[in-house]
A and B are shown apart, each in its own frame.
Chain A
Amino acid sequence: MIEIRELSKRFGDLQAVDRISFEVRPGEIYGLLGPNGAGKTTTISMLTGLLQPDEGRVLFQGVDFASDPLGIKSKLGVVPQEIALYDELTAKENLRFWGSLYGLSGSILKTAVDEALDQVGLTARADGRVKTFSGGMKRRLNLSLGLVHKPLVVLMDEPTVGIDPQARLNILEVVRNIARSGTTVLYTTHYMEEAEGLCDRIGIMDHGKLLAEGTLDELKKMIGANEVVTVRGNFSATDARARVEHLEAVRVIDAEDGRLMLATAGDGSGVVRLLSEILGSDLEIQGISIQPPSLNGLFLKLTGRELRD
């Protein structure tokens, strides 16, 4: 549905997006996961025509975006990270305006507005002014404005930022529903759990580069570990590293004074060996945590940093 080829964008000295390529297939939810500043929003901005890429191409159903921007834009729905609503207008008036921008009118517009309100559960507040809405309601309306014209592809840029867990669950449910109806979704987030729970395929971005891409299972395999073990205590990084480096099926991911992160592989014997070695040493241990493989672990493996940092 969407093909991104060697896309780059530079702002002065900052290479915001660095020759990224990926494909979003019809009907799937593709997640772009990365910390703030990874280049996700810049990528979305180039896909929506807000920014011109320095290099690379964007193809929509095989058509180059640059050759027919208005035609392609009319088939896209955009849900920006910020809440871009007219506070003075009602929910219905907002939807009517955005629907009319995409050429809807008359009874078609009316039906589309009603359906969009229903989709996000705001029918009861259709005639309420937006300025009286809660943050979660505004987020839901913000989402529905990108859906009112029934686009083939919806580009969502961190649509759950800054809302409470309940409102987030509502929005994620709406995203799943529109994907079920056949709409393709490109979804950016820095929440690992969202990407894991929502997306069919995930691309991991950092510093403008696409570091890894695949389904959740494919990505977890890339970690090459069954568990990620974090050891905390009163020790130096050098001492701790020296104790475990020689162990079979154990790999040091990161070591710093007071904190040691390791990946264990195999059938679980790596964990046993690691714990025996550490607990039997003179290192002053204060705590040990064992986590199953996750995107955070992969991100850590790829960048040396945690996604939450």
Chain B
Amino acid sequence: MGVLGSMVRKDLLRRLRAPLALVVLLAFPVVFSLLLAVSFGGGGSPARVQLIVENLDEGFLSELLVNALRDERMAEHVDVQSVGQEGLERIHAGKASALLRIPVGFTTNLLEGQPITLELIRNPAQGIYPEIAEQIATVITDLLSSASFVLREPLDRLSTMTEGDTKASATSVALLATQVYEVLDRASGLLLPPAITLETIQLGGEEGDPDSATGSGMPNWIAIFLLVLPGISVWALFMIGDLGMRDILEESQRGTLRRQICGPLTPTRLVIGKACATATLALLGLVVLSVLGGIASGGAIDFPAFVVLSLALIVAVTGFASVISGLAASQRQGGTLGSVLMLIFGFTGGSFIPLNGLPPFMRQLAPFSPFYWGTKGYADLISESAGIAEILPNAVVLIVLGGLSLAIGSLLLTRRVARGGLA
């Protein structure tokens, strides 16, 4: 084992003997991603909005409204139950998200074109669910309201037909049906395609099977885990790199750096040794996080592309960390500088918020963050099944950024060591 090998071995041994910082940095992306996955993926079907309806009218149009709320497409999100006067008690007891009251005379007033007011009582204790209930009720009410205007004439005829005890003749019913058809036909240009549709939007912009966010049969929470993991892992790897390279400042403080400089080593070799140890540490972190990501994704990624991107990322991590250590005068200063820069680059580079969730101006800034190229590369590998050709630009940018920063950082550190600045 040469001198560089000894330096790497020594640093890894030290890190493994006092592993708290490393373990925290490795655990953070997993825990953070899992928390988000469980919070938003739910580990199964999301909870439904509990909407209770107190129908005081019980005419056929109010029944139509209730049935519209019970539409099977809505049933996945809203549990609609008809109640009597105990509705308000259930709200107070926290057993429902909102209570919709359909007033007496709803059907009659709608047929006669009289204004109608529906009452929605929200339960503030149920977070966002009452808001969802209100939105749903508003949509249905608007639809009914619009329909009452468009179908005014047929509704008037229907009103006449329902008055008294006389049974409507087959001819009048047929005539009414024809009239409704003609009205709808004339209004079809306005109504169809429907002006309002309920669209299920999954995080990541995928549509389709609500139990399968990626359309590949993957449970929601795993999809969210894999969506968040690349970005936060890239952030963690940069932090691990910072931890490794900043060790040169710690060694300066401990006196072991001075002792090494007294030996037959050039400052350049010392810095290279620390950079090699940092790269090895980052590689170990990458392997651990990749195994977890691989297990979650079922290993369905292009392995050569993954290796290329990972090696490029390690170059970037090492280079970036060496610049921070080169600029910092002390370990504490390095820690502060590193944390601040990592946070800024993490936010702009999509580590904490998925890139497509960033506002437009931040998306324009994102390519200036080295984190972006890593995060996007891994996201493309996982969700787009990207290969080497697709991630090559990311790898090239990371290598160029990493190489440049490694050169600058090494120069700064070497000069300081040579001038006794770290001794």
Judge whether A73 and B255 touch: CB under 8 Å: no
- B252 CB, min distance to chain A CBs, angstroms: 11
A98 CA to B261 CA in the complex, in Å?
Answer: 12
A129 CA to B269 CA in the complex, in Å?
Answer: 27
Q: Does A307 sit at the interface, judged by CB under 8 A? A: no
B side interface size, CB within 8 A: 24
A side interface size, CB within 8 A: 31
Q: Does B407 sit at the interface, judged by CB under 8 A? A: no
| Residues A100 and B6 in contact in the complex (CB < 8 Å), given A80-B255, A82-B255 | yes
| CB 8 Å contact bits of A63-104 with B (1 = contact, 0 = none) | 000000011011010101011111011000100111011110
Judge whether B13 and A101 touch: CB under 8 Å: no
Pick from A83, A101, A129: contact of B260, CB below 8 A: A101
Q: Which of B388-423 contact A (CB under 8 A)?
A: 420, 423
Among the 9-residue stretches A46-54, A202-210, A288-296, the one with 4 or more Cβ atoms under 8 Å from chain B is A46-54
Chain B residues near A (Cβ < 8 Å) = 1, 3, 6-7, 9-10, 13-14, 17-18, 254-256, 258-266, 420, 423
A71 CA to B13 CA in the complex, in Å?
Answer: 29
Main secondary structure of the interface of B (DSSP, over half): helix
Judge whether A70 and B261 touch: CB under 8 Å: no
Q: A residues within 8 A CB of B9? A: 97
A163 CA to B265 CA in the complex, in Å?
Answer: 31
Q: Does A171 sit at the interface, judged by CB under 8 A? A: no
A-B contact count (CB 8 A): 75
- B295 CB, min distance to chain A CBs, angstroms: 31
Q: Which of A212-227 contact B (CB under 8 A)?
A: none
Q: Does A105 sit at the interface, judged by CB under 8 A? A: yes
| Residues A97 and B10 in contact in the complex (CB < 8 Å), given A70-B264, A88-B18, A103-B264 | yes
A290 CA to B17 CA in the complex, in Å?
Answer: 57
Q: Does A250 sit at the interface, judged by CB under 8 A? A: no
Q: A residues within 8 A CB of B264? A: 70-71, 73-74, 101-103
| CB 8 Å contact bits of A99-113 with B (1 = contact, 0 = none) | 011110100000000
- A171 CB, min distance to chain B CBs, angstroms: 17
CB closest chain-B residue, reference A100: B6
Q: B residues within 8 A CB of A52? A: 420
| Residues A101 and B265 in contact in the complex (CB < 8 Å), given A89-B10, A93-B13 | yes
CB closest chain-A residue, reference B270: A101
Judge whether A97 and B6 touch: CB under 8 Å: yes
A83 CA to B259 CA in the complex, in Å?
Answer: 10
A105 CA to B2 CA in the complex, in Å?
Answer: 8
Q: Does A145 sit at the interface, judged by CB under 8 A? A: yes
